[in-house]
Amino acid sequence: MSIPPPSGDDSGEAVTPLAYIDAIAGAGGIPICIPPYQDYRQIREVITFLNGFLFIGGADYRPEHYGGHPQPEEELMHPRRDDFDIALARFILEETDLPVLGICGGCQLLAIARGGALIQDIGTECTAADGGAPLPHSRKDDPFFRHPVRFIPHSLAARATDTPPGAMLATKSFHHQAIHPDRIGKYLIASAWSADGIIEAIEPAPDSPWAASGRFVLGLQWHPERMQDEAPHRQPFLALVQAAANTRVSAG
């Protein structure tokens, strides 16, 4: 859950965009929003009620988690959520077999939690694959930038969006950071890219224990919850809920 800047004497609040809640509910799941606890021991207690997990987007994670350079404070996530998200992601990925979907900042969080790193500003730190300027993955006049994404054929990302081999998927993105291609994170590989070479999806590497067990771990850099009127963008949530149902059956 995000923590907006407090106003006046208000001590703050934790909020979740309704689009994420509606996407999980629309896929047949029961959304449960997890607040950023100050006592991390409560993570173990709340996990017992879950069969899958969705990491949502937000402001930038603090660069000290992955050895990045300093950023303006106004770009960064509230410290309480930042610290909690890192602890929660590491616990879920390392100490459970729960299926996981990460969206936008949640996709980046999966990489950070596994020792990955980020490109901290696409516009100033990247050059497109053709040597030109990168795409405007986030722009002020049209915040959710629509652009195509190409996939590794038959990858989890392709299957989770019902994208056939050789086809591309039109997506909407809103981000100025991205997963660094040289440090994606332990057990993870990139499986989708935009035309400028920015990583658009991550998933278990073929030789990883997660792949061997068939664990559902998927990060999507775009915002499928913002495109629920299009079938391919409903599919990742359906895939997460189905994986969660299978986990519940296995545990039972």
Tell me how far CA of residue 74 lies from CA of 9, 16, 27, 79, 212, in angstroms: 20, 20, 35, 12, 41
For residue 47, how many other CB atoms are within 10 A of its CB?
A: 17
Give this prediction's pTM.
0.93
Runs of H (alpha helix) within 151-199: 156-160
Which residues fall within 8 angstroms of residue 2, CB to CB, at 6 or more apart?
14, 15, 16, 17, 56, 58, 59, 77, 78, 81
| Pick from 109, 117, 122: nearest CA to 56 | 109
Return the pLDDT at 252. 44
The overall average pLDDT reported for the chain is 91
| Pick from 148, 138, 157: nearest CA to 195 | 148
Which residues fall within 8 angstroms of residue 247, CB to CB, at 6 or more apart?
51, 52, 97, 98, 99
- Asked if pLDDT for residue 110 goes beyond 50, the answer is yes
Tell me how far CA of residue 9 lies from CA of 6, 14, 76, 167, in angstroms: 8, 16, 22, 52
Tell me how far CA of residue 170 lies from CA of 151, 233, 237, in angstroms: 12, 10, 17
**pLDDT tens profile 137-188:** 776 656 678 889 999 999 999 999 999 999 999 999 998 999 999 999 999 9
pLDDT category of residue 250 using cuts at 50, 70 and 90: low
Domains with residue ranges and CATH for the chain: 18-251 (3.40.50.880)
Q: For residues 147 and 129, what is the distance between their CA atoms, to the nearest angstrom? A: 15
Compute φ and ψ for 105, nearest 5 degrees.
-60, -30
Q: What's the alpha-carbon Rg for the chain, to the nearest Å?
A: 17
Tokens of 140: 């002020």
**pLDDT tens profile 42-92:** 999 989 889 999 999 999 999 999 999 999 999 999 999 999 999 999 999
Question: Beta strand pairing status for 217-220 and 100-103?
Answer: parallel
Q: For residues 175 and 74, what is the distance between their CA atoms, to the nearest angstrom? A: 15
- Asked if pLDDT for residue 113 goes beyond 70, the answer is yes
Return the pLDDT at 187. 98
Residue 131, sorted as left (phi over 0), alpha (psi -120 to 50) or beta, turns out to be left
Return the pLDDT at 8. 57
